[in-house]
């Protein structure tokens, strides 16, 4: 083999393994659940009667948690989540609880809320901090590039790439060693012509692939809630058992915060936003006694 060819092959091998190494390094590799976000979490009933935030995120779910964490880097953020804390719901924290969660009778407080879609299909959705990422099957894949290009959004692809990397380093694990039933499904798909067999890949590709999982190697679930830890927890407040029932938009602007009255509900306000906004939240235990009136008024 000519020296140049040898050099080329050596480079090729180096880059191949470097690529493999980078992919492995880019995934999460710890096995402890990280509850640091709990420093920012309170029950809605324990919140002060009057507060101001730059942003209020309604729903601390799969999308809400990373959004709130990102905003909290430079702004004060309130997350209003109707469900409770994951640590009070052991079934959402491990793969062993997956089926039990879905089978549980819905008592209005369970982490999986049963509902029927408009086209009549029985389904469930998350009702816990971390949202449906705390009850789902944990399969992780990057989005289809075609979806991004056709979405009508002018994506900053560098920011998209960074976001993928953040999520993958924090809560996505390499689950490429498959259980017997998983291997059987994968082989069946390939045999049925869903090809090529792409092996382990995080990106969206045509064919069959093994992708990442938010379950780690010992079966613990690392839901989107752990992405809150990536924010500035000093800027972040999460109110639990806070069911948002109404958002009031007003065109009246004011140079100082409008007074908010503590009543049957909790009222949070976005300060100095272009349009005055207020959010009425049903406080878990106090609302019913307060009757049907929108307790706190601005
Ligand atoms: C059984 C199951 C398995 C799945 N498996 C996978 C999978 O393997 N891979 C995958 O990618 N996807 C899977 N999905 C889908 C995926 O989990 C969801 O698409 C995704 O989590 C939705 O994210 P979201 O942020 O839109 O909503 P959610 O994560 O559901 O978050 C919404 C949040 O808002 C809160 N909320 C709702 N209403 C109010 C209110 N009025 N006031 C205050 N808070 C409120 C909820 O409690 C919840 O926390 C699965 C879903 C289910 C149900």
Q: What is the CATH number of the domain that holds 292?
A: 3.50.50.60
Does one domain contain both 35 and 123?
yes
Residue 118 has pLDDT above 80, yes or no: yes
Does one domain contain both 130 and 143?
no
Give the number of domains in the chain: 2
Give the end of a domain, one of 213, 233, 252: 213
Residue 288: what are its φ and ψ, rounded to 5°? Answer: -60, -45
Residue 84 has pLDDT above 80, yes or no: yes
Ligand 1 centroid distance, CA of 124 (Å): 9
The token duo for 87 is 């640590």
Give the end of a domain, one of 184, 213, 242: 213
Residue 243 alpha carbon, nearest atom of ligand 1: 42
At residue 29 the predicted structure's pLDDT band, cuts being 50, 70 and 90, is confident
User: Of 269 and 233, which is predicted with more confidence?
Assistant: 233
Does one domain contain both 239 and 117?
yes
247 and 280 Cβ atoms separated by less than 8 Å: yes
Does one domain contain both 52 and 194?
no
Does one domain contain both 117 and 226?
yes
At residue 61 the predicted structure's pLDDT band, cuts being 50, 70 and 90, is very high
| Domain presence at residue 10 | no
Does one domain contain both 133 and 35?
yes
Residue 106 has pLDDT above 60, yes or no: yes
In this predicted structure, which of 51-65, 144-158, 195-209, 253-267 has the lowest mean pLDDT? Answer: 253-267
Q: State the pLDDT at residue 176.
A: 83
Does one domain contain both 194 and 231?
no
Ligand 1 centroid distance, CA of 160 (Å): 21
Q: State the pLDDT at residue 31.
A: 77
At residue 190 the predicted structure's pLDDT band, cuts being 50, 70 and 90, is very high
Q: State the pLDDT at residue 289.
A: 31
Residue 22 has pLDDT above 70, yes or no: no
Give the end of a domain, one of 179, 213, 247: 213
Our mutation pick for probing the ligand 1 site, out of 126, 141, 214, 221, counting the most ligand atoms within 8 A of Cβ, is 126
Does the C-beta of 124 come closer than 6 Å to ligand 1?
yes
Residue 101 has pLDDT above 80, yes or no: yes
Residue 201 has pLDDT above 50, yes or no: yes
Residue 24 has pLDDT above 80, yes or no: no
Does the C-beta of 61 come closer than 6 Å to ligand 1?
yes
Residue 260 has pLDDT above 90, yes or no: no
Does one domain contain both 111 and 230?
yes
At residue 10 the predicted structure's pLDDT band, cuts being 50, 70 and 90, is very low
> Domain range spanning residue 145?
139-213
User: What's the rounded mean pLDDT across residues 81-92?
Assistant: 96
Does one domain contain both 53 and 132?
yes
Ligand 1 centroid distance, CA of 73 (Å): 24
Q: State the pLDDT at residue 266.
A: 54
Ligand 1 centroid distance, CA of 188 (Å): 29
| Domain presence at residue 16 | no
Does one domain contain both 242 and 132?
yes
At residue 269 the predicted structure's pLDDT band, cuts being 50, 70 and 90, is low
User: What's the rounded mean pLDDT across residues 240-267?
Assistant: 64
Does one domain contain both 278 and 265?
yes
Our mutation pick for probing the ligand 1 site, out of 80, 102, 131, 175, counting the most ligand atoms within 8 A of Cβ, is 131
Three-state SS for the chain is CCHHHHHHHHHHHHHHHHHHHHHHHCCCCCCCCCCHHHHHEEEHHHCCCCCEECEEEECCCCCHHHHHHHHCCCCCEEEECCCECHHHCHHHHEHHHHHHHHHCCCCCCCCEEEEECCCCCEEEEECECCHHHHCCCCEECCCCHHHHHHCCCCCCHHHHHHHHHHHHHHHCECCCCCCHHHHHHHHHHHHCCCCCEEEECCCCCCCEEECEECECCCCEECCHHHHHHHCCHHHEEEEECEEEEEEEEECCCCCCCCCCCCCCEEEEEECCCCCEEEEEEEECCCCHHHCCCCCCCC
**Angstrom distance (rounded) from CA 213 to CA 219:** 10
């Amino acid at each position: 083999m000519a020296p140049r060819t040898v050099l080329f092959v050596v480079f090729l091998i180096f880059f191949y393994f470097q690529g493999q190494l980078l992919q492995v390094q880019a995934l999460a590799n710890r096995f402890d659940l990280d509850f640091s976000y709990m420093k920012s979490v309170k029950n809605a009933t324990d919140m002060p009667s009057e507060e101001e935030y730059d942003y209020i995120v309604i729903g601390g779910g799969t999308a809400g948690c990373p959004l709130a964490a990102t905003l909290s880097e430079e702004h004060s953020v309130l997350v209003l989540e109707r469900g409770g804390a994951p640590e009070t719901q052991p079934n959402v924290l491990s793969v062993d609880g997956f089926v039990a969660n879905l089978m549980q009778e819905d008592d209005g407080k369970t982490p999986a809320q049963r509902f029927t879609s408009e086209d009549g299909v029985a389904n469930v959705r998350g009702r816990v901090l971390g949202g449906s990422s705390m009850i789902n099957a944990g399969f992780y894949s990057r989005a289809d590039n075609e979806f991004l290009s056709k979405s009508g959004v002018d994506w900053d692809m560098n920011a998209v790439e960074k976001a993928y990397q953040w999520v993958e380093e924090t809560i996505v694990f390499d689950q490429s060693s498959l259980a017997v039933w998983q291997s059987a499904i994968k082989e069946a798909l390939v045999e049925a012509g869903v090809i090529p067999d792409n092996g382990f890949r995080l990106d969206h590709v045509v064919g069959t692939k093994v992708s990442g999982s938010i379950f780690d190697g010992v079966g613990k679930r690392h839901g989107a809630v752990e992405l809150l830890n990536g924010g500035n927890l000093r800027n972040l407040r999460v109110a639990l058992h806070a069911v948002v029932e109404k958002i009031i938009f007003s065109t009246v602007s004011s140079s100082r915060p409008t007074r908010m009255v503590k009543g049957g509900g909790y009222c949070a306000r976005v300060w100095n936003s272009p349009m005055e906004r207020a959010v009425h939240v049903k406080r878990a235990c106090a609302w019913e006694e307060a009757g049907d009136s929108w307790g706190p008024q601005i």
